[in-house]
Chain A
Amino acid sequence: MISVVINGEAREVPEGVRLDHLLELFSLPAKRVAVEVNKTVVRKVDWPVIKVSDGDRIEVVHFVGGG
């Protein structure tokens, strides 16, 4: 297992997990969300090829009400 921070929360995830599977692990939606790894956006087409590394800081965002 490796340690990552997802949306500000420390989590242990399997070594070698790729971004698309990471979202599935946490039951996160894949539609109309965006993912950033270490402050850089990762395009959705790249999710299946990008491996999560130990210490990565990952943000998964969607939309909520706002002004």
Chain B
Amino acid sequence: MSDTFTLGDSTFSSRLIIGTGKYRSYDEMKAAHAASGAEMVTVAVNRVPLDGKTESFLDHLDPKMKILPNTAGCYDADHAIRTARLAREALDTPWIKLEVIGDQITLLPDNEQTLAAAKVLVGEGFIVLPYFTDDLIMAKKLLDAGCPAVMPLAAPIGSGMGVQNPSNLRIMREQLPDATIIVDAGVGVPSDAAIAMELGADAILMNTAIAESRDPAAMATAMKLAVQAGRLAYLSGRMPKRLYASASSPLEGAIK
């Protein structure tokens, strides 16, 4: 069965996109990446230390993985735009996970600045994947601006709180049936990933839930399976919820 999704000029078989942060070692990261089946990983743009102790982080990534640089740590559109341009220059890639943060405590997105940055970057030829708050109207604006997908959060970054906004994600799916929706941030355990996929997300982006687990490779496998299970469930169509019971066995013909 072929159940792929497309972003820009790339088609993905795996609906799990994972991060590269917070791993205890490169070996753990590589094992988790391999186990996850992910075809795209996120990386952050950061100052090169001036102490000469530089190593190339990218050498630790499977060369088959598509690299998605992010604009983490940016608090306004201008910083995010500069970071995206630097990422494109360094990696020769038009792909960017656009992240403009509004506040250090919650790391919640600044949707207004995100939209402003998205418009500029799309105009410059970037493939912009914007992280934003789960707002349908903002999703429409980001899509209208030319983003090939939107990436609503399920809960704050690194919180592991799970899907806090199932109704908003469901509304976004129903109202934007043709949009590519990637749930980004908030997943803590595989059941969270399955829930997001059951709600109709096209893919999930996660980092901490795998990296901070005791056994990242095993958790990556669990996440892969959960994303697949949730996707299959969404495609299969769930039964209706009922307030009262509905017998599975025939009531007629039971002995008296």
Using a CB–CB cutoff of 8 Å, the interface residues on chain B facing chain A are: 19-23, 29, 42-50, 52, 54, 56-58, 67, 69-70, 72, 82-83, 85-87, 89-91, 157-158, 185, 205-208
Contact = CB atoms under 8 A, between A and B. Distances in A.
Interface string A27-67: 11101111110010101100000000000000111111111
Given A34-B85, A60-B48, 9 more contacts: A32-B56, A33-B48, A34-B86, A36-B82, A39-B82, A59-B86, A63-B44, A65-B20, A67-B185
Contact of B208 (A7, A62, A63, A67): A67
A39 B56 CA distance: 24
Contact of A67 (B19, B83, B89): B19
19 contacts: A7-B49, A29-B48, A29-B54, A29-B56, A32-B58, A32-B91, A34-B45, A34-B85, A34-B87, A34-B89, A39-B82, A60-B48, A61-B46, A63-B67, A65-B29, A65-B43, A66-B42, A67-B22, A67-B42
A64 B42 contact: no
Query: What range describes how many residues of A lie at the interface?
Result: 20 to 34
Contact of B21 (A29, A32, A65): A65
User: 3 tightest CB-CB pairs across the interface, nearest first?
Assistant: A66-B44, A67-B207, A67-B19
A32 B47 contact: no
